[in-house]
């Protein structure tokens, strides 16, 4: 080893340059991390693949400026030098450096780090008078040469640089080494990666423009980080996350305080940041530091409903009194993501410097972004993904660059992609490398089960599944039987053994972890696992051998007390794949045809049918008992399973009013809850500090105010003291004439609650593990590993707990509490994104549906609505026919109010509004009009189009009496029966027709189908199974609940509480 000195120039946090001399040790053996290595390097971990045409060394400038391009999926064989990584670390800040480290660790990217500065023969020391750039170039070149020679010249090496002089200097020095510019490189070596080339152009454009920044200051400078930290410590400043009010994005933002860092302040509310100057370049989501203004300068928040509002969560009492108000003095962390923007129309761009365009983000909370581009004309009316680069104090707006074009605004595909990106969901098709990990299963080479190391239940147990009709991914099955002697019952829950096929750390595992869940949109879904697993090998289909993870209880026949629980891997063969209706029919003794039995002789068939029916009856008996136990503990029935009514042909039932849900739903749900609970116990007891649980904290009492007040207005008493009281009083709050009243009260109760969340047991005290909604002391998710990553984690924990019982070492060390907590947060975040995406896609479909209809003439646009909340200048309604919610205003911008005539017909007149707890009145010369809670009114639905944001629905009151729809021909489904199902289908059909036409028009339809392949992995328009799955997504977050159109899906989501919250 050779000792030498290395001189580096670092930038201090104040921006001063510091010269540092470091001891530097050189060695002969530094791993090359190439699979082609013949020199027996100690290449531990990830290595570069050998099946590329070349290896590439980006120089320092390229890594610093174009790291994003190097991140593009598909660009392979990249060697990052230590020299370049240091430059990123010291020159670009923590965010970019962390991204680089993440890239190097991610096995899905074919790239490695080469520690060139430790390699005796690759390292070059800096020469006297040599500029840093020159020296860096020489280091990377020298590393490239060493690498090429080390691999005995078997692979050509390309060095990319934006430095023209370097190209000239090094080009012809060494055969096998090629020096090219970034642009040449992309064009010649990766012509198929259009995304990389587009990104390159947009970034280089931005870099060129950057030099011509103005110097006039628009904002106060941010304070240096030492000053901020000292100020937070002393209590002079406050740290928190900036939340911009969507409805007043220009003016109103709040800083939500963050836990421990604010010990020294006695504030317990958010801090208001009013106006752009005070916000001082902070962007929604950033971690900021604020300074409180003197009390005399405090102001209050604006209170009245504003257009498009109405979905705000717990409607706080009208408070406009001054609140703590502050200004941003610094930013601790930028939390910028990818944003979708819309470019302005031509007229607006030609007047000014046309290369810099102010684009408007889709998210109203984000400021306009200045983009340098020469494609402004081509991009107008398109949605484009952009990233923000910087926001200097001299610039009124942040600067950014475009990443890729999504398509024309308003088109279905564009809008769906917009929704995904806005929720940071990036789904690429499963890569070939991932798919290679999948077990083979073809007619010639079928997959075969192996009974070794598994309990074989194929002969001994009658196993069956009960799912929605047409379900492909069956992740749970059941078994039940009396044990010999008659004293004991045995109940079994058998779940797809996903972790057998998805080893921890495999590419499939990493991809599933990143996705964290299957995403259900209104018209499609994106699976967490490749189809070969989710629809085949992991799916517990009937009549085939499958691997399962089982929980088997021995219960006392009479008391159903648990005598014994067995957990372990099993081999099963499901005998029956039932659907809910069929199972219920068997239970009811109705004639039913069981597919699996159709070929048998009558005698045999009757015997088998009797056996199956007996099992179903036993199961129902057990589930009733379990449910009763939880009811005693205070389990909440929040929203019944009203999906059923969706497909019901009974013309008397409107789309969303449920008929009685089938008991068998609850039976299956109860067994799953039981399994989840027992697995939670097992893993928590085995790993008290590092097990993954799902907990549901009790809600804050004040959140129940709206529920209690609204119920009181209707003459009901709601007791919210405990979950048990709440459940009981909700059960009693029934209006026999209007079942909607009870459902709306339950919706409000759900809105008042917080989300159920995943947590690592070591992160919260044990007395907080309690699941409020389910009334269980411990709970987790175990039963849906095909579509939830949390369940995959839990399966691994359960496997480890089982090996612990058997005194064998788990094959892999468990994740620590801290690591597991990070994972839990990630999954929580992705679940929220999944819920938001789903809600937004539903709203998109609702808008697309109404878009082509003339609200003045089309009867579809007039509907019955029920009022469920009173606001200052209007109220919130629910429209059962379309499953949507929204705000109705009784006062408009001109100050006119809604006034109803003799027959209830409304018109606008000048007057005033008066709000009461249970009604709102308008007074004008014609008299007083009253709108009362839970009353039905008639509204007109129209679309409020928006160029840059999503369209929204506008509701206008037509009459303060219920809507009388004209009678429909009996055999035609009228608007009354048009739920979201038909709505989605109709919109999809129109969109597909449009696509088809476009394809026919442009004879080269290749591009479109390629995009379709990329984005539509699974097209599952089966809304029925979708809704079933949606229920399981979890308790809806409050935002998603009180939506202006969370609609059917929103309501169903809340039912998650009763089934698998």
Question: Judged by CB, which is closer to Zn ion: 150, or 356?
Answer: 150
Give residue for tokens 């601790």. 332
CB 659 within 8 A of CB 644: yes
Question: Judged by CB, which is closer to Zn ion: 28, or 53?
Answer: 28
Shortest spacing between CB 106 and Zn ion, in angstroms: 22
Shortest spacing between CB 36 and Zn ion, in angstroms: 8
Question: Judged by CB, which is closer to Zn ion: 39, or 168?
Answer: 39
Backbone angles phi, psi at 318, to 5 degrees: -65, 105
List the one residue out of 509, 643, 534 whose CA is nearest residue 579: 643
Question: Judged by CB, which is closer to Zn ion: 35, or 194?
Answer: 35
CA distance 369 to 367: 6
Question: Judged by CB, which is closer to Zn ion: 34, or 518?
Answer: 34
Shortest spacing between CB 176 and Zn ion, in angstroms: 16
CA distance 810 to 796: 10
Site of interaction with Zn ion (CB under 5 A): 32, 37, 39, 41
The set of residues, in sequence order, having a beta carbon less than 8 Å from that of 615 and lying 6+ positions away, is 462, 464, 479, 480, 481
CB 690 within 8 A of CB 816: yes
Question: Judged by CB, which is closer to Zn ion: 121, or 908?
Answer: 121
Residue 269 region, left (φ>0) first, then alpha (ψ -120 to 50), else beta?
Answer: beta
CA distance 75 to 72: 6
Question: Judged by CB, which is closer to Zn ion: 116, or 729?
Answer: 116
Shortest spacing between CB 50 and Zn ion, in angstroms: 12
Shortest spacing between CB 150 and Zn ion, in angstroms: 6
Shortest spacing between CB 796 and Zn ion, in angstroms: 34
Q: Give alpha helix (H) positions in 276-411.
A: 276-279, 346-350, 376-379
CB 560 within 8 A of CB 618: no
Question: Judged by CB, which is closer to Zn ion: 79, or 158?
Answer: 79
Q: What's the CA dihedral at 375, 378, 383, 384 to 10 degrees?
A: -20
CA distance 819 to 631: 35
CA distance 772 to 988: 39
Q: Give alpha helix (H) positions in 385-489.
A: 412-422, 432-436
CB 498 within 8 A of CB 514: no
CA distances from 34 to 114, 150, 431 (A): 10, 10, 21
Backbone angles phi, psi at 867, to 5 degrees: -80, 130
CA distance 596 to 686: 41
Shortest spacing between CB 149 and Zn ion, in angstroms: 11
Question: Judged by CB, which is closer to Zn ion: 149, or 162?
Answer: 149
Shortest spacing between CB 1003 and Zn ion, in angstroms: 51
Question: Judged by CB, which is closer to Zn ion: 35, or 928?
Answer: 35
* Three-class SS state of 689: coil
CA distance 516 to 520: 13
CA distance 1046 to 841: 10
First-to-final CA distance of the chain: 60
CB 832 within 8 A of CB 1037: yes
DSSP lists the bridge partners of residue 957 as: 939
Question: Judged by CB, which is closer to Zn ion: 27, or 210?
Answer: 27
Shortest spacing between CB 26 and Zn ion, in angstroms: 17
Q: What's the CA dihedral at 265, 268, 269, 273 to 10 degrees?
A: 0
Question: Judged by CB, which is closer to Zn ion: 149, or 411?
Answer: 149
Q: CA-based Rg of the chain, rounded to a whole angstrom?
A: 32
Crossing angle for the helix pair 817-851 and 789-805, nearest 10 degrees?
A: 150
CB 662 within 8 A of CB 584: yes
DSSP lists the bridge partners of residue 956 as: 940
Question: Judged by CB, which is closer to Zn ion: 157, or 462?
Answer: 157
The set of residues, in sequence order, having a beta carbon less than 8 Å from that of 67 and lying 6+ positions away, is 88, 96, 99, 100, 103
Shortest spacing between CB 259 and Zn ion, in angstroms: 48
Question: Judged by CB, which is closer to Zn ion: 41, or 713?
Answer: 41
Question: Judged by CB, which is closer to Zn ion: 37, or 692?
Answer: 37
Question: Judged by CB, which is closer to Zn ion: 151, or 305?
Answer: 151
Shortest spacing between CB 32 and Zn ion, in angstroms: 3
Give residue for tokens 């006034």. 899
Residue 2 region, left (φ>0) first, then alpha (ψ -120 to 50), else beta?
Answer: beta
CB 242 within 8 A of CB 336: no
């Amino acid at each position: 080893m050779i000792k030498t000195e290395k001189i580096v120039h670092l930038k201090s946090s104040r921006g001063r340059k510091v010269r540092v001399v470091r001891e530097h040790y050189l060695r002969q053996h530094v791993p090359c991390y190439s699979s082609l290595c013949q020199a027996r390097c100690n290449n531990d971990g990830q290595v570069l693949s050998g099946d590329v045409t070349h290896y590439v060394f980006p120089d320092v400038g390229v890594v610093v400026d174009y790291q994003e391009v190097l991140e593009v999926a598909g660009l392979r064989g990249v060697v990052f030098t230590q020299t370049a990584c240091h430059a990123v670390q010291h020159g670009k800040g923590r965010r970019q450096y962390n991204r680089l480290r993440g890239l190097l660790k991610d096995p899905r990217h074919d790239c490695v780090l080469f520690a060139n500065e430790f390699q005796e023969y690759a390292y070059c020391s800096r020469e006297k008078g040599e500029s840093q750039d020159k020296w860096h170039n020489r280091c990377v070149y020298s590393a490239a040469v060493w690498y090429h020679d080390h691999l005995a010249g078997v692979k050509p090496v390309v060095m990319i640089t934006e430095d023209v002089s370097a190209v000239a200097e090094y080009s012809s020095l060494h055969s096998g080494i090629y020096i090219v510019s970034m642009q040449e490189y992309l064009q010649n070596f990766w012509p198929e990666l259009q995304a990389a080339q587009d990104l390159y152009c947009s970034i280089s454009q931005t870099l060129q423009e950057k030099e011509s920044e103005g110097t006039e200051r628009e904002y106060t400078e941010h304070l240096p980080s030492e000053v901020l930290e000292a100020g937070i410590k002393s209590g002079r400043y406050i740290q928190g996350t900036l939340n911009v009010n969507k409805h007043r994005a220009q003016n109103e933002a709040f800083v939500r305080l963050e836990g421990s860092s604010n010990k020294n302040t006695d504030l317990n509310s958010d801090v208001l940041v009013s106006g752009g100057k005070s916000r001082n370049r902070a962007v929604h989501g950033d971690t900021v530091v604020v300074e409180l203004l003197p009390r005399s300068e405090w102001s209050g928040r604006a209170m009245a409903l504003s257009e498009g509002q109405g979905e705000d969560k717990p409607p706080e009492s009208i408070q406009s009194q001054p609140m703590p108000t502050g200004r941003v003095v610094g930013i601790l962390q930028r939390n910028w993501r990818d944003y979708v923007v819309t470019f302005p129309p031509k007229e607006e761009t030609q007047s000014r410097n046309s290369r810099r365009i102010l684009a408007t983000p889709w998210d109203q909370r984000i400021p306009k972004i200045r983009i340098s581009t020469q494609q402004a004309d081509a991009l107008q009316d398109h949605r484009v993904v952009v990233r923000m680069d910087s926001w200097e104090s001299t610039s009124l707006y942040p600067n950014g660059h475009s990443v890729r074009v999504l398509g024309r605004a308003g088109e279905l595909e564009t809008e769906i992609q917009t929704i995904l990106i806005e929720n940071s969901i990036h789904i690429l098709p499963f890569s070939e490398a991932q798919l290679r990990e999948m077990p083979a299963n073809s007619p010639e080479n079928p997959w075969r089960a192996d009974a070794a190391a598994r309990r074989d239940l194929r002969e001994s147990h009658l196993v069956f599944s009960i799912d929605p009709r047409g379900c492909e991914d069956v992740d749970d099955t059941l078994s039940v039987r009396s044990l010999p002697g008659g004293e004991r019952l045995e109940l079994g829950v058998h779940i797809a053994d996903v972790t057998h096929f998805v080893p921890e750390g495999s590419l499939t595992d990493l991809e599933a972890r990143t996705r964290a869940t299957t995403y259900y949109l209104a018209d499609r879904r994106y699976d967490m696992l490749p189809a070969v697993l989710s629809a085949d090998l992991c799916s517990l289909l009937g009549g085939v051998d499958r691997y399962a993870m089982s929980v088997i209880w021995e219960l006392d026949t009479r008391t159903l007390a648990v005598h014994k629980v067995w957990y372990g891997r099993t081999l099963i063969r499901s005998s029956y794949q039932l659907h809910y209706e069929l199972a219920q029919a068997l239970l009811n003794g109705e004639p039913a045809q069981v597919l699996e039995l159709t070929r048998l002789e009558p005698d045999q068939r009757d015997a088998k049918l009797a056996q199956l029916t007996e099992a179903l009856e036993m199961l129902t008996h057990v589930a009733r008992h379990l449910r009763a136990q939880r009811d005693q503990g205070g389990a909440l029935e929040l929203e019944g399973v009203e999906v059923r009514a969706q497909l019901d042909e009974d013309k008397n039932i409107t789309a969303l009013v449920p008929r009685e849900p089938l008991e068998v739903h609850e039976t299956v749900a109860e067994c799953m809850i039981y399994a989840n609970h027992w697995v939670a116990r097992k893993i928590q007891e085995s790993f008290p500090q590092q097990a993954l649980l799902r907990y549901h904290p009790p809600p804050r009492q004040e959140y129940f105010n709206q529920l209690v007040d609204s119920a009181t207005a209707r003459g009901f008493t709601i007791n919210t003291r405990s979950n048990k009281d709440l459940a009981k009083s909700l059960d009693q709050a029934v209006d026999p004439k209007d079942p909607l009243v009870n459902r709306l009260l339950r919706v409000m109760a759900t809105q008042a609650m917080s989300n159920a969340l995943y947590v690592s047991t070591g992160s919260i005290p044990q007395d907080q593990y309690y699941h409020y909604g389910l009334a269980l002391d411990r709970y987790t998710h175990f039963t849906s590993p095909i579509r939830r990553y949390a369940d995959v984690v839990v399966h691994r924990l359960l496997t480890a707990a089982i090996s612990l019982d058997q005194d064998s070492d788990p094959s892999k060390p468990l994740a620590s509490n801290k690591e597991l907590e990070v994972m839990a947060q990630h999954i929580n975040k992705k679940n929220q994104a999944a819920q938001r995406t789903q809600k937004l896609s539903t709203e998109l479909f609702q808008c697309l549906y109404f878009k082509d209809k003339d609200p003045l003439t089309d009867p579809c646009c007039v509907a019955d609505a029920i009022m469920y909340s009173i606001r200052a200048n209007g109220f919130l309604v629910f429209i059962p026919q379309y499953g949507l919610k929204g705000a109705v205003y009784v006062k408009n911008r001109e100050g006119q109010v809604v006034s109803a005539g003799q027959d209830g017909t409304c018109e606008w007149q000048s007057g005033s509004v008066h709000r009461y707890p249970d009604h709102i009145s308008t007074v004008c010369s014609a008299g007083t009009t009253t709108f009362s809670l839970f009353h039905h009114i008639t509204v007109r639905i129209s679309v409020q189009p928006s160029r840059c944001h999503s369209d929204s629905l506008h509701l206008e009151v037509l009459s303060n009496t219920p809507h009388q729809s004209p009678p429909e021909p009996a055999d035609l489904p009228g608007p009354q029966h048009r739920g979201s199902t038909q709505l989605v289908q109709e919109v999809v059909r129109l969109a597909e027709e449009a696509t088809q036409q476009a394809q026919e028009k442009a004879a080269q339809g290749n591009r479109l189908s390629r995009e379709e392949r990329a984005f539509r992995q699974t097209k599952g328009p089966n809304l029925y199974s979708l809704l079933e799955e949606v229920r399981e997504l979890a308790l809806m977050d409050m935002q998603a609940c009180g939506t202006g159109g969370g609609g059917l899906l929103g309501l169903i989501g809340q039912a998650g509480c009763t089934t698998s919250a």
